[in-house]
Every structure is written in C-alpha cells, then in structure tokens.
C-alpha cells in the first residue's frame, strides 16, 4: 500500500489552503493509490491534514489515518481522527531529537510528501529538505493553488 505524510509549520494559518489540501489528498488517493497517511499531529498543518483525511474516509473507507508518535513513553489517547498510532523509531532517542528523527523515519517510509512549507527555517523546512535529498515525490500546497 502506498503512503504519504505531511510537513508544514506549527503556527501558520492554513485555512485559506483547505481546498488545496483536500484536492491534494484526493489526488493521492485517486490518481496514485495512496491508502495510508502518516501524521505527527503537532501543528496547524498536521491538524488540518488529519481532519481532511478523516473526512475523506466517508468517500474512501479503506484509507488509514495513522498518528505517528515521537515519544515512546508518552502515548496519549488516540484523537478521533485516527485509526491507529505507531512509534516508528527502533530505539529510544533523547527527547530533543525525537521529533526530527521521527520526521526522518516517516520520510524514509512513505512514497509521497504533502508540503505546507512556506518559510526556509524550522523543523518542517528541515524535513522537506531531507525529503528532497531522498528524492521523494513532494506535492506542495502552495503550487498551482
């Protein structure tokens, strides 16, 4: 099953891009056969994408929305938007590296990246750069939208 993940800024207003995000998710499902979406659920972009994938389940009941945990020992109650949670790292890492290592592992595991990266700084920017280095297919919500 093909998969995708999302990277965007924690504190950016993505509400004007909701339709573009929805269109990209539909394109991933219909045109590329994506059936699994990995989401860290840490900032505004992640939350918008989680909600949009959740709503797509009515139309595409076989897709999965997976909450990716960055901290092994801090599992919270699963938010309603997700089907399951996963911890991807093979070993525990110091807390200050947990998010960046988890982001890298998500990138290595997925086929597509949905990017809401607008600024050239921060964790989302670093994740996008890593995805580019790994030659991942990146769908940018700010292009053609």
Kindly report the CATH number assigned to the domain that includes residue 58: 3.40.50.450
Element (H, E) at 44: helix 44-56
Could you tell me if residue 127 is inside a domain?
A: no
pTM of the model: 0.94
- Give the integer Cα–Cα distance in Å for 14 and 32: 24
Q: What is the pairing mode between strands 112-116 and 137-140?
A: parallel
In a domain, 129, yes or no: no
Q: What is the mean pLDDT of residues 127-137?
A: 98
Domain span at 21 = 2-117
Nearest 5°: phi and psi at 2? Answer: -75, 150
Domain count along the chain: 1
Residue 122 in domain: no
Q: Report the first-to-last Cα separation within the chain, whole angstroms.
A: 27
pLDDT tens-digit profile of 3-15? 999 999 999 999 9
Question: Tell me: the pLDDT tens digits for 87-116?
Answer: 999 888 888 999 999 999 999 999 999 999
Q: Is residue 137 in a domain?
A: no
């Amino acid at each position: 099953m093909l998969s995708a993940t999302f990277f965007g800024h924690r504190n950016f207003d993505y509400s004007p891009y909701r339709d573009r995000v929805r269109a990209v998710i539909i394109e991933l499902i219909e045109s590329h056969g994506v059936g699994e979406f990995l989401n860290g659920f840490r900032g505004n972009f992640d939350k918008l994408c989680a909600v949009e994938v959740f709503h797509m389940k009515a139309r595409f009941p076989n897709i999965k929305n997976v909450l990716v945990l960055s901290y092994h020992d801090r599992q919270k109650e699963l938010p309603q938007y997700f089907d399951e949670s996963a911890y991807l790292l093979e070993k525990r890492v110091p807390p200050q590296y947990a998010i960046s290592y988890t982001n890298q592992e998500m990138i290595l595991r997925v086929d597509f990246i949905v990017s809401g990266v607008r600024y050239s700084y921060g964790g989302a920017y670093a994740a996008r750069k890593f995805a580019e280095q790994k030659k991942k297919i990146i769908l940018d919500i700010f292009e053609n939208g």
